[in-house]
Structure 1
Amino acid sequence: MRCHAYQLPSEVYRALEAQILEALADASLEQLGYLLGDHDLKVELLSGEWRVLFEAARDISYQVVKLGERRARMAISPDELSELVTLLRSPERQVDWAPISFGLAELVDALPVGMDLVGLVIVEEDDDWMWRESTHEIIAIRPEVYSLIEPHMHELIKIGDFGALARLAGDHCEGAIEFSNQRWFDLGQAIVTHAPELIPVIEATVSPPDVYTSVREALSLVADPRTQPSLDAWLRVHSDGHQYALFFRDIRREVE
């Protein structure tokens, strides 16, 4: 799940603030769209970006986060904006967040420094992404990215939202190996026969970077180029770039 950040001129935000805060609690996206229609900037934040932003801004913002309902909303008034900008422009934070900063970098550059000229409202995207065709995957995540999104990945595993987990991993991955239903089934059979040590790894959904070498070696035992050409090619060409975290995406877990 991604979010959209709306920058509103301060006079617009202040005139609508009470309605905006009330609407963030339970209004539909369509209703919020009417309130936010006079925005002067709209920026898409990827799945990991809004999560680290919400976490950092918890004490200076109004937030409504209900992961079980896939709802994530935040408002920053013009009066708090300067504090937010200072927080986001911290050199240490910018370095820490650089591995996942795309829309977030655009937003930081756009927000005025030291002035209360705008208010900021962030709202989750609609659910169209949930209906796109999906496939089984092994998704590779760089270690510096994983360190930022790991707690959020485990939170989604805990509540059983594997669709949102796949969105989060896919938004910030280095690469992915796709499998048809048949090849995913065949991979599982080969693992049982030739690399049973991978069974608990795949059942856990995510393997951290510190076990990557052993996981990669086990995967090489089942990467027959005749039956698993994509896995074989990835292991030969791309697998030694980093000590990756791996997300094993089984789309059967994503049934609503």
Structure 2
Amino acid sequence: MRCHAYQLPSEVYREIEAQILEALANADRDQLGYLLAEHDLKIELLSGEWRALFAATEDDYFQVVDPTEHRARMAVSPEEIAGFVEMLRDVERQIEWTPISFGLAELVDALPVGMDLVGVVFVEEDDDWMWSESTHELVAIRPEVYTLIEPHMRKLIEAGEWAQLSRLASDHCEGAIEFVDDKWFALGQAIVTRTPELVPIVEASLSPPGLYQNIREALSLVADPRSQPSLDAWLRVHSMDHNYALFFRDARKERG
């Protein structure tokens, strides 16, 4: 699930501030869209970006976050915007967030410094992304990215929010190998038969970079180029670039 930042002129924000806060708490996304129609800038934040931002500011600004309801909302008033921009422009924080920063970088450049000219409202994207077909995947995540998004991935695993977890991993991955059902099941059977030490790792869904070399060696034993050509090609060509964290995406968990 991604999120959009809506920049509103300060006079517009102040006029409807009470309605904004009420709507963030209770309204559906369409109602919020009508309320924020007079925005003069809209910026998309990827799944890991808004989560990092919200976690860093959860005690400072009004937020409504509910993974089960697919809600990710925050309001920063014109009176608060100077402190918010100062936080975003902190050099150490910018360096820390660089591996996942796309929309955040655009937001930093767009917001005025030291002035109360705008307010910003963050609202989750619509649910259209959830209707795309789920696929089995092996997703590779660079270690510096994994450091930033792992806590959020763990929370989604605990909550059983597998579709959101897959969206988060896909938004920030280095690469992914897709498997149709029969190839995924064949890979699982080969792992059980030939490399059973991988079974608990696959079942856990997420493995840290420290396990990568052992996992890679084990996968190379079951990556038959005839039955698993994509996995075999990735292991031969790309797998040595980094010690990746791996997300084993079992689409059955998303399909219920």
TM-score by length of 2: 0.99
* Structure 1 counterpart of 2:75: 75
Contact 2:139 2:175 in 1 (8 A): yes
Question: Do residues 107 (structure 1) and 107 (structure 2) align?
Answer: yes
Measured on the aligned residues, the alpha-carbon RMSD in Å equals: 0.7
Contact 2:43 2:106 in 1 (8 A): yes
After TM superposition, the structure 1 = structure 2 runs for residues 142-153 of structure 1, keeping only pairs within 5 Å, are 142-153=142-153
Secondary structure of residue in 1 paired with 2:42: strand
Contact 1:135 1:180 in 2 (8 A): yes
Distance in 1 between the 2:59 and 2:117 partners? Answer: 21
Code of the residue aligned with 1:59 in structure 2: it is D
* Structure 2 counterpart of 1:218: 218
Code of the residue aligned with 2:142 in structure 1: it is R
Contact 1:60 1:80 in 2 (8 A): no
After TM superposition, the structure 1 = structure 2 runs for residues 244-255 of structure 1, keeping only pairs within 5 Å, are 244-255=244-255
Contact 1:60 1:76 in 2 (8 A): no
Question: Do residues 13 (structure 1) and 13 (structure 2) align?
Answer: yes
* Structure 2 counterpart of 1:38: 38
Q: What are the superposed Cα offsets for residues 110-138 of structure 1, whole Å, 9 maximum, x if unpaired?
A: 00000000000000011100001221000
After TM superposition, the structure 1 = structure 2 runs for residues 182-201 of structure 1, keeping only pairs within 5 Å, are 182-201=182-201
After TM superposition, the structure 1 = structure 2 runs for residues 52-67 of structure 1, keeping only pairs within 5 Å, are 52-67=52-67
Distance in 2 between the 1:186 and 1:32 partners? Answer: 46
Deviation for aligned residue 1:255: 2.2
Moved over 6 A (4+): none
* Structure 2 counterpart of 1:134: 134
Distance in 2 between the 1:174 and 1:249 partners? Answer: 15
Deviation for aligned residue 1:60: 2.1
Contact 2:23 2:32 in 1 (8 A): yes
Distance in 1 between the 2:218 and 2:161 partners? Answer: 28
Distance in 2 between the 1:151 and 1:59 partners? Answer: 18
* Structure 2 counterpart of 1:178: 178
Code of the residue aligned with 2:167 in structure 1: it is R
Code of the residue aligned with 1:138 in structure 2: it is L
Secondary structure of residue in 1 paired with 2:93: helix
Indicate the percent of aligned positions where both proteins have the same amino acid: 71
Contact 1:138 1:246 in 2 (8 A): yes
Secondary structure of residue in 1 paired with 2:222: coil
Runs of 5+ consecutive residues of structure 1 not aligned to the other structure: none
* Structure 2 counterpart of 1:123: 123
Secondary structure of residue in 1 paired with 2:121: strand
Contact 1:24 1:73 in 2 (8 A): yes
* Structure 1 counterpart of 2:230: 230
TM-score by length of 1: 0.99
